[in-house]
Amino acid sequence: MATKPVTLKVQSRGKPIRKLPTEAKLYIQGSTSDLYHRIAAESDFSTHRLRITKSDGSLVPNDKTTTVASVGLQDGDIVQVKDLGESQRRPTQRLIAVLTSFPQAPR
């Protein structure tokens, strides 16, 4: 089965992302992980810092086994990209931030 390329329109959701591309081209049978990597590379962000949703608000998962077609995206559809910011830290970093914020007991 031949795969055909699709062009998705990309919009920022929430705070504007400076280098966000206006469109993303990929194959309909390509993985949604490819979509995340393509948008992240062009906008200079990590894939872990982005959340991509369809125009109806449903999440596009960052998954190598999920295809663009299986999510329901077609040529010309709009995807919205949100920058999750610094809230997506590693658990160890979060634990250290919490522990260092407590005042120390007097000795």
pLDDT in tens, 52-66: 999 999 999 999 999
Reported in sequence order, the residue ranges of the chain that DSSP labels E, i.e. its strands, are 5-12, 23-27, 50-54, 59-60, 78-83
Q: For residue range 2-17, what is the model confidence (pLDDT) as tens digits?
A: 578 899 999 999 888 8
| Element housing 32 (H / E) | helix 32-43
Helix (H) / strand (E) element for 75: namely none
Low-confidence ranges of the chain (pLDDT < 50): 88
Q: Which residues contact 71 (CB under 8 A, 6 or more apart)?
A: 32, 54, 60, 61
Number of H helices, E strands in the chain: 3, 5
How confident is the prediction for the chain on average, in pLDDT? 85
Picking from 83, 85, 80, the residue whose alpha carbon sits closest to that of residue 22 is 80
pTM across the whole model: 0.76
